Chain A
Amino acid sequence: MKAVDIRAMILEVIHQIVPDEDLSNLKGDVRIRDQIEMDSMDFLDIMMELRKRYGIKVPEEDYMKFSTLNGSVAYLEPLMKQF
């Protein structure tokens, strides 16, 4: 999966988790939780979706790398080459 597709996938997952939020102007380099209403349980939903869909189990110490959209894409890119 290419970076652009990973980005689209993450946005789709976030939309599923917080369907009331407008994601059209979400900036890639700003903390996601500073831009939309999202709490720690919502964040865990993202981790859960990655596990369910792709079998990717992100260790807790890496959670901070998902604070921005760009950071999430960068983290996942090497892990999702086969998808």
Chain B
Amino acid sequence: MNSEARIVITGIGLTAPNGNNLTEFRQNLLAGKSGVGKIETHYMGEVIAGICHFDPLKYQKKKEVRRGTRAGSIAIYCANEAIADSNLDLTSVDKSRIGIYVGVTEHGNVETENEVYNIKQYDYNVDLWSHHHNPRTVANNPAGEVTLNTGITGPHYTLGAACAAGSIGIIQGLQMLLLDEVDLALAGGVSETPNTFGVFAAFKNEGALASHPDPQKACRPFDKKRNGIVVSEGGCICVLEKLSAALERGARIYGEIVGYAINSDASDFILPNPQRQIECIRLALRKAGISASDIDILNTHATGTREGDKAECQAIRGAFGDDTEVYINNTKSFIGHTMGAAGALELAGNLPSFEDNIVHQTINVDDLDPDCAFKNLVINEPRKVDKVDYILDNSFGMLGINSALIVKRYEK
């Protein structure tokens, strides 16, 4: 394939509950360090959640932080970190040729709930409803705030795709590059979800909110005692560009996106559909021109719910076979479910495997569920392997949206 049609990742900016850049994030993953804790939330009191601890004032004025949203701050932090990481000088590139594509699971819940909470103190007097509400809650807010902060004038929008949104942000960026709509894409996803009580309450009332005396052990995909999701903040924005452009400017290349797929279950609001997940994985493999046995690491979507993990394991068996030797891991066990960020963030946490040949582990598996047992499920300790050439990243979301991304080691 010519280098004009090959898309590579040349910069990564991220914030996770256990790290504010890729180096820190990776170190904490390999060290088995969780970032999950407890927070106070409206109406529900203390809940288990993953909160990020980046400094928003690194790239924003205090006024911008106050005026904007948490999702906007996360997106701004990640975008600026990604640009810096890619060694791009924004003053020397055409800002009208940069696109910003940010995946979100939801947006506007936090801001709306806060306003309702605020006017409740004033007997629901709507004269006190903030005039900032609309610019804060328009669906493009997190991506739009990046443009205000950076002066980028190319297209910007968010992609609402439930918990597959982070991956779909990256896929959108890739597609826009291939269509020659932009020269550079800032693509990924963000989550401010722990700031909305409604998501916690809804998960709790559907029996899908994780609970555990130790918050760091609450997210436990594949464990027999898993009991639900840990809701988390997070963000990951990647700089994507054509291989030809990256080579021309001598950029560091984290990996090449060689396969991707998005499909729909068309079967249930919440329950996953393993057959459609299999089809999604197979479609991504077909686009990459490889077979399942070529994949070295499969980073699972598994959130720690009883049914969701089981369905994904069924899909892995369907796509890879019962005796697959692929190394399987999970990032949510460390950081909880970073919602709109998850697909991008979890992929990023695995990209260093191309260089260090280590597969990060899944933590909190004390008693492996036989339904989730695989030969090379990497549990509790990282695994040193001979070589990593392909990583597959699964992300699935409500209303039955599935995505799979395949990234290949880049070799000159």
| A contact set with B: CB distance below 8 Å | 17-20, 37, 41-42, 44-45, 48, 51-52, 57
Could you tell me how many residues of chain B have their Cβ less than 8 Å away from some Cβ of chain A? 11
Contact of B128 among A18, A41, A51 (CB under 8 A): A51
Name 20 interchain pairs, CB-CB below 8 A, sorted by A: A17-B63, A17-B66, A18-B63, A19-B62, A19-B63, A20-B61, A20-B63, A37-B63, A41-B67, A41-B131, A41-B132, A42-B63, A48-B128, A48-B130, A48-B131, A51-B127, A51-B128, A52-B122, A52-B128, A57-B127
**How many whole Å from A81's CB to the nearest CB in chain B?**
22
Closest to A47 in B: B131
> Would you call the interface of chain B mostly helix, strand, loop, or mixed?
helix
CA distance A19 to B122 in the complex (A): 25
Smallest CB separation, A28 vs chain B (Å): 22
Q: Chain A at the B interface: mostly helix, strand, loop or mixed?
A: helix
Q: Which of A19, A20, A41 has the most CB of B within 10 A?
A: A20
Given the complex of chains A and B, what is the CA–CA distance between A19 and B132 in angstroms? Answer: 17
Q: How far is the CA of A41 from the CA of B63 in the complex (A)?
A: 12
A78 to B63, CA, bound (A): 31
C-alpha gap A37/B67 in the complex (Å): 14
* Binary A-proximity of B254-293 (CB < 8 A = 1, otherwise 0): 0000000000000000000000000000000000000000
Query: Chain B 117-153, CB within 8 Å of chain A: the 1/0 string?
Result: 0000010000110111000000000000000000000
Q: Which residues of B contact A48 (CB under 8 A)?
A: 128, 130-131
The residues of B that contact A51 with a CB separation of less than 8 Å are: 127-128
A51 to B132, CA, bound (A): 16
A44 to B62, CA, bound (A): 18
